[in-house]
Structure 1
Amino acid sequence: MLVGTLTELQRGSLWGVFAEAFLVGLYSCLLIVTLWAPITTGRPLTVIGWIIIAIYCLTICRFVLEVCALFRTLLVNGGEVVGLESVDYVIQAMKQAFTFVAATLADSLFCWRLYMIWSQNTRIILFPAVLLIIHTIICIVIVVIGLLLTPQPRHTQYLTSLLPPLNVGELCTIFLYTFYTTALIAGRLWWVGREVNKFTSPEEAKKNRYVGAIAALVQSGVIYLTMVILLLIAVLTMNDTMMVVLNPISAIINGISSTLLVLQLNMFQEYTVQRNMDGPPLTTGASIKFAKPGTSSEIPGEWAPTHSPVATGRQASRPTTASRQ
C-alpha cells in the first residue's frame, strides 16, 4: 500500500508508532540513568528497581507487537489473508495484556508513594487500592474477551458488544485512581513545603518553591493523568483516530512517569517532618536539593526534617538537624 492510500486509522496508527518509537528512545536513556548508580557502585537492586525494569520490558514487548501489527496491516492491505485472521486478535490481546500489567505495576508505585508521603497511613490508600483491584479485574476480562474473539467464534457479536463499556469502565477507574493519587501527593508536597519554607531564608524559600514544583510534577503523576484525560475524551467522543494515536503513547508515558519518580527519589533530597502535635509524623517527600551525603543544615522551630522513611524505613522524629541523603 502507498502512504497516500492509507485510511485515516492507518495513518493514525503510523503516527502513533513513530511517536512511540521516539519516546522509547527517551525511556531507554531514562532507565539507564536511573539504574546507573546501582550498577556502577555494585549495590543490589531494590524491589522498586526490579519493578521499573519489569515495566520497561513489558512496554518494549508491547511496542514490538505494535510495530508488527502496523506492518501486517500495511503489507497485507487491511489484514485480509486467509488462514491468518486470528493473528490480529491474538496480537491485540497480547498488547492489552502487556499494557495492563505494566500499568498496574506503575500505578502500584504511585500508590506506594502516596502511602509513604502520608506517613504510612493505611487509610489513605484504601480507596486507590480498591480502584486498582477493580481496574485489574476489568483488564483481565478485556484480555480474555480479546483471546476469545477469533474470526468465527460463537457469540462474537455479544462479546464485541461488551468491549466498549468495559473500555470506558477501565478508563474511568484509572482516571479516578490517578486523579486521587495525584491530588493527594501534590497537595501534600505543597502544604509541607510551605511549612518548611517558614524556617528558611527568603532566597532559599524561593529556590525550594521552584524545585518543589518540579517534585510535585514528577512525583504526583500529573503527566500520566493528562494522558488519561485525553484518552477518556477520545473514548467518550468516539474519536477512533485520536484513540489509535494516544493508546501507544499513553503506555510509554506511564512507564516514563514511574521511572521519573524513582529517579527523582534517588537523586534528590527528601524531607520528612513531624509537627509538634499528637498524631503520626508527616512525610513530605518534597525534594529540595541534590543529595550530598554527610552534609547537614540547621532548621529551627517545631519542624525538623530527617531522612525519609522511603529510604530508611524509619518514622520521622524531631531532631534539630536536617540530614541529607
Structure 2
Amino acid sequence: MLTGWENRPDSDLVLGDGQDIAASRLSVKLYLVQSALECLVYGCYMVTFGVSMYVMKFKRQNNSGIRWDVCALVLIFLITTAVTVTDLISNASLLYETFGLGGLHLGLSTTESHQFEISMQMIAEMGFILANFLSDCVLMRRCYIVWNSRFKVILFPMVLSVIVNSVIILMVVLFADDPSHGTTQKKFNVANRIMQVFFGINVIPNLLLTLLIAGRVWWIMRELEKISHDVSSEGVGQIKKRYWTTLVLILESGLLYPAALITFLVILHAGSVAPSLYPVVSTIAGLAPTLIIVRVQLGVSVDSLNDIRNAI
C-alpha cells in the first residue's frame, strides 16, 4: 500500500541472481506479515462490530442519537472492509509479480497489472480517508454533547480535521493522475512522505477531542463534589464510581487511534524497509469509535451535569 515501503521492489522483478532472490524473499515476508496482521486486527474489529449491533438492538439504555450511531458504525465498517479487501487483493497481485507470474490474471500485461494495483490503492486510500473523517465525526459529536452543545468547543478540531482530510484527498488524486510506471514511482515516494506528515498531524484533532471529552467529565466530577452535601453518601459514591469508570473508558477508547498512528510513524522511521500498517490503522480508525458508541448505548457514558442531578 501507499505508505508501506520506501524501497519497494520493482514490479518487473523476476527471480534471478542471489541479490534478486534475497529481495524477493524479503518482499514475500513483508507481504505475509502485513496480510496476517490485517486479518488479525480486522477479525477483532468484526467481532466488536457484531457485538455493537447486538447491544444497540437488545441491550441499549440510551436511545438518543441511535440512528446516527447505527449509520456511522455500519458505514465505517463497510469502508474498513473495503480497505482491507482491496489491500489483500493488491498484496496477492504483488506476490504474483514478485515471482514473475504476472498479475492476478494471466492475460494481464505488466502495464495493466500496474494500473490495477494503482486502482486498488486508490480505493483503499479513499476508504481510509472516509473512515478517518467519520471517526473524527464520532468524537466531535460526543464532545459536542458532553459540552452541552457548545459548537465553539469543537470548532478548532473540526476545521483542522476538514483541512487535513481535504489535503490528503488532493494528494491521492495527484498520485493517480499519471498511470505511467516511472512517474508513478516518483509520486509514490513523494506520497509516502506526505502521508507520514498526514498521520502526524492527524493525531492532533483525535487527541484534542479525547482530552476535551475527558476534561469535561473531570469537571463534572468537580461539580459533583460541590453538590454532594445535599445527597446521601451512597448515591454520591455510585455516581462518582460511574464517572471515574466513564473517564477511564473514554481515555482507553479515544487514545486507541492516536496511539496506533504514533506507532505506525515510529515503525516507518525505524528502518528503510517495513511492512505497511496502513490498512491496520484504517481498521483501528473504525474500532475506536465503535467502542465509544457501544459504551454510550450501554449507558456507561453520561452526557451532562443535569444527568447527575436527575440520577440523584
TM over 0.5: yes
Distance 2:222 2:246 in 1: 10
Correspondence for 2:286 among 235, 251, 255: 255
Shift of 1:187: 2.0
Cα distance in 1 between the residues matched to 2:69 and 2:161: 18
1:21 maps to a residue whose letter is: C
- Is the Cα–Cα contact under 8 Å of residues 61 and 98 in structure 1 kept in the other structure? yes
* Alpha-carbon spacing, 1:197–1:149, altered in 2? closer, same or farther (3 Å): farther
Report the counterpart of residue 197 of structure 2 in structure 1: 169
Pairing of 1:176-255 with structure 2 (within 5 A)? 176-196=204-224, 199=228, 200-201=233-234, 204=238, 207-208=241-242, 211-218=245-252, 221-235=254-268, 239-241=272-274, 244=276, 246-255=277-286
Question: Could you tell me which of 62, 67, 72 is aligned with 1:46?
Answer: 67
Looking at structure 1, the residues matched to 198 and 204 of structure 2 have their Cα atoms a distance apart, in angstroms, of 10
Corresponding position: 1:322 with 2:292: no
Classify 1:211/1:59 alpha carbon distance in 2 versus 1 (closer, same or farther; 3 Å).
same
Per-residue displacement from partner, 1:260-283 (whole Å, max 9, x unpaired)?
Answer: 111000002443444xxxxxxxxx
For 1:74, the aligned partner's letter is: L
Paired AA for residue 50 in structure 1: C
Structure 2: 5+ residue stretches without partners: 1-14, 16-20, 103-109
Match of 2:146 among 98, 117, 142: 117
1:126 positional shift: 1.2
Q: CA deviation at 1:39?
A: 4.1
Task: Report whether the alignment pairs 1:59 with 2:80.
Answer: yes
Between 1:200-209 and 1:32-41, the stretch displaced more is: 200-209
Q: Give the one of 102, 111, 127 matched to 2:131.
A: 102
CA distance in 2, matches of 1:272, 1:67: 40
The sequence identity of aligned pairs, in percent, is 20
**Tell me, which stretches of 5 or more residues in structure 1 are unaligned?**
275-303, 307-319
Partner AA of 2:86 in structure 1? L
Provide the residue aligned with 2:52 in structure 1: 34
Query: Are the counterparts in 2 of residues 197 and 205 from structure 1 also a CA contact under 8 Å?
Result: no
1:189 and 1:216 in contact (8 A); partners too: no
Q: What one-letter code is carried by the residue in structure 2 that aligns with 1:150? A: P
Q: Give yes or no for the alignment of 1:73 onto 2:107.
A: no
Cα distance change of structure 1 residues 93 and 166 upon mapping to structure 2, 3 Å threshold: same
Q: Distance in 2 between matches of 1:216 and 1:125?
A: 17
Distance 2:167 2:101 in 1: 30
1:133-179 CA distance string (max 9 Å, x none)? 111211211221232241347x5576446424421332233111112
CA contact (8 A) 1:109 1:258 kept: yes
Residue 208 of structure 1 deviates from its aligned partner by 3.7
Task: String of CA shifts for 1:74-100, please: whole Å, max 9, x gaps.
Answer: 223167842422112111111111111
After TM superposition, give the deviation of residue 67 of structure 1 in Å: 1.1
Aligned residues: 276
CA distance 1:210–1:163, change in 2 (3 Å)? same
- Among candidates 134, 137, 143, match of residue 172 of structure 2: 143
Paired with 1:119 and 1:89, the residues of 2 have a C-alpha distance of 45
CA contact 1:9–1:241 (8 Å) conserved in 2: no
Once the 2 structures are TM-superposed, how far is the Cα of residue 305 of structure 1 from its aligned partner?
2.8
Question: 3-state SS of the aligned residue for 2:311?
Answer: strand
Secondary structure at 1:148 match in 2: coil
Give the letter aligned to residue 151 of structure 1.
S
Residue 33 of structure 2 corresponds to which residue in structure 1? 15
Change (3 A) 1:29 1:189: same
User: Of the two structures, which has the highest relative contact order with CA contacts closer than 8 Å and spacing of 6 or more?
Assistant: 2
**Partners of 1:19 and 1:156 in 2: CA distance:** 27
Judged with a 3 Å threshold, the aligned counterparts in structure 2 of structure 1 residues 179 and 60 are, in CA distance, closer, same or farther, namely: same
The aligned counterpart of 2:5 is none
More strand by share: 1
Distance in 1 between residues matched to 2:95 and 2:164, nearest whole Å: 33
Measure, in 1, the Cα distance between the counterparts of 2:57 and 2:246: 28
